[in-house]
Amino acid sequence: SHMANSVYTTNFDIPYAPLLPRDIVRLTPEMVDGADLWLMSPPCQPYTRLGKKSDVGDRRASPLASLMQLLPRLARPPRALLLENVVGFEASESWQKVSATLQRCGYEARQFSLSPLQLGIPNRRPRIYVLARRPAADGRLGARPLEHEFPGRSASERELRTRTLAEYLDPPGTYPDQVPPPELLERLASRGQRWEVVGPESTSSRTFTSGYGAECHNAY
């Protein structure tokens, strides 16, 4: 996507030239050989609980599958890989294929189910993270069981005070007050949906997505 590359260049002050405006499924080993790190956040629609969960049957799972086909063909594979996706990916056939490829290529992999709340950030966004590196530090190839704590943190570090949303908001009065129209709330209620209403002192919030309102936790 030329537009995505342009946004990336603007935000990170990186010249456009090093970025590859290529479809991932059309990459060749020569195009990606020698990279130190792969950062991957493949489309989540094949795995999300609000979707059809078509997994490998969804064409949007093809780019990740293509990368896993490339990895064994590299003369200089990356020393590490980081992959992020929605909860549910860890139980997918896609992940089983990724895990098998990592093991075959000499990587050890750790998988985590983590949320910003664990860092004291007032946002519920649980995600699956996979960290893989080679050579394996202790000779353990393949994926380890799913973990639920940030690696390398002590028990005291885990008990962080959860910040309030006020610490992330602009000062009161910066913008005009914006209240959802009652008609919109009534329409959502008629569909069995609701919004999570939070305020400056709330210690939790939810990310706004297309599935917002389909399932909503109580604010607190």
* Cα-based angle 98, 104, 109 (whole degrees, multiple of 5): 55
Contacts of 153 (CB under 8 A, 6+ apart): none
Yes or no: say if 117 and 156 are a contact pair by the CB < 8 Å rule. no
pLDDT at 136: 65
Between residues 149 and 218, the one the model is more confident about? 149
Backbone Cα Rg of the chain: 21
Residues 117, 122, 127, 129, Cα dihedral to 10°: -60
Q: Which two tokens stand for residue 143?
A: 């994926």
Q: Is the pLDDT of residue 45 over 50?
A: yes
| Nearest to 2, CA basis, from 19, 27, 24 | 19
Whether the pLDDT of residue 21 is over 50: the answer is yes
Query: Model's pTM, two decimal places?
Result: 0.81
Residue in 32, 44, 68, 70 annotated catalytic: 44
Here the tokens at position 126 are 């649980």
Q: Please, what sign has the CA dihedral across residues 181, 187, 192, 193?
A: negative
| DSSP state string for 111-128 | EEEE-GGGGT-S-B--EE
Q: What pLDDT score does 37 carry?
A: 95
Please give the distance of CA 210 from its chain centroid, rounded to a whole number: 16
111-159: pLDDT as tens digits: 999 999 888 899 989 999 999 999 766 667 778 899 998 877 766 666 6
Over residues 46-96, the pLDDT tens digits come to 998 877 889 999 999 999 999 999 999 999 999 999 999 999 999 999 999
Pairing type for strands 127-133 and 142-143 reads: unpaired
Single-letter code of the amino acid located at 216: C
Check if 105 is active-site: no
pLDDT of 192 over the 80 cut? no
Higher per-residue confidence, 101 vs 159: 101
